[in-house]
Amino acid sequence: MSSSNQFCYYLKFTLAILLTGIVAGIAGLLLSLLLHFVQHLAFDYSLDKLISPESFLNGVRASAPWRRLLALAICGLIAGIGWWGLFRYGSKLISIEAALKNDVPKMPIVTTFINDILQIVTVGLGSPLGREVAPREVAATMGSWIAEQLGLTIKDAKVVLACGAGAGLAAVYNVPLAGALFTLEALLVTFHWTQVISALFASTVAAIIAWIGLGNSPQYQIGQMMLSYSLVAWAILVGPILGVAAFYFVQLTTISKARAPKNWQIIPIAFINFLLIGLLAIPFPELLGNGKGPLQLGFDGSLGIELVAVLLIIKLVITISSLRAGASGGLLTPGLMFGALLAILIGSGWNLIFPLVNISAFAIVGATAFLAASMKMPLTAIVLMLELTHTNHDSVIPMLFAVIGSVGMFNYLKKITYYS
């Protein structure tokens, strides 16, 4: 390739990354607005504005019990009929990870978009699954299409696709650095300088675009963490425990996804599953949604131990049952929530014996360690928590110790399970 042709190709690659970042930001913004619209309409709160100070949890708590039941019944119908129709008439779904492994990194545009809209609508109606997969998939799909239109090589098309996925994450959560790290650590598994620059560029552009409608505030509000020997010692000991929990969480979710129906049976199973969740939401409105509400309460230290235990158990059951029923969605925010709640339980026992540690510190460290192990992305998890909460530097040392323990234990269990 001549120097002029090479220069033109680099320009096309740069253009592909820029356009993918812009598309990711727009997709993240529009999908977030759709989520808020569904939430406000379903639970009858803040109907005058899509982005409001009132949280989803407060809106659900203020809603009538019959409204929670009706919203989840509708959620079950939409999930069942929607995904049955998609499996029956749509193209085969291809995940981001599968597309990166294929010879040609392409994802079906129409099928992927319908799948992602179903995810957003069902999460808005109260599904316990996460919303972050949808913007990642939309951005990745468009990124691969842009790369194809510009005539990029297969290798570079995969880079663009992965950058789109990370940029989608960056847009919806305002986490540009974590989005770039997700691209590099979880998808491309490389830190070559070209990929690093590309991932940072796409995620930064996406986050800035999303600011237009979503603002630039952190996702979670927390107080200042105070570093102490008691917190560090607890983090060292709790890391492996969280690694065990994360390992079996992944086992359960993987089995549930694999056994989910893809024929007409998904309609009655999904309807019954979400109807039961609606009944449980009458006494426990905190169950609805992807777990952001309980996670914020955990960071506030405002959850009683009894409610923490109840939410941990029931949330786990309905997350597994929803995946088994055929619903689709992410596990990032649910994973953060499970780690935080489990850490609060363990930390409360610790505080009975050792020097007191703020409950919110337990929650932050536990959420990070659980996510790092369950999603196999330790660096991304740490940076993600820092960007989500804007917590101070005192949180880093206990986070690191907990993440080392959780990821180490997760990999050990994975190894002995594989060879057993």
- Asked if the model's pLDDT at residue 224 lies above 80, the reply is no
Q: Which of 305, 274, 299 is nearest to 288 (CA)?
A: 274
Q: What is the C-alpha separation between 155 and 160, in angstroms, rounded?
A: 9
Q: What is the C-alpha separation between 11 and 152, in angstroms, rounded?
A: 11
Question: Same CATH fold, 229-419 and 3-214?
Answer: yes
pLDDT value of residue 171:
97
Q: What percent of the chain is modeled with pLDDT above 90?
A: 90
Whose tokens are 């426990």? That residue is 284
Q: What is the C-alpha separation between 41 and 327, in angstroms, rounded?
A: 21
Q: What is the pTM of this model?
A: 0.95
Domain range summary for the chain, segments of one domain joined by +: 3-214, 229-419
For range 389-396, the mean pLDDT: 91
Whose tokens are 């842009």? That residue is 146
Residues 269 and 276 sit within 8 Å (Cβ to Cβ): no
Mean pLDDT rounded to a whole number for the chain: 95
**Residue 72 in tokens:** 């989840």
Q: What percent of the chain is modeled with pLDDT above 70?
A: 99
- Asked if the model's pLDDT at residue 3 lies above 80, the reply is no
Rg (the chain; Cα; Å): 21
pLDDT value of residue 395:
92
Q: What is the C-alpha separation between 85 and 80, in angstroms, rounded?
A: 8
Residues 285 and 57 sit within 8 Å (Cβ to Cβ): yes
- Asked if the model's pLDDT at residue 82 lies above 70, the reply is yes
Output the CATH code of domain 229-419.
1.10.3080.10
pLDDT in tens, 326-365: 999 999 999 999 999 999 999 999 999 998 899 999 999 9
Second CATH level (architecture) for the domain 3-214: Orthogonal Bundle (1.10)
pLDDT value of residue 53:
79
pLDDT value of residue 420:
63
pLDDT value of residue 1:
60
pLDDT band of 51, cuts 50, 70, 90:
confident
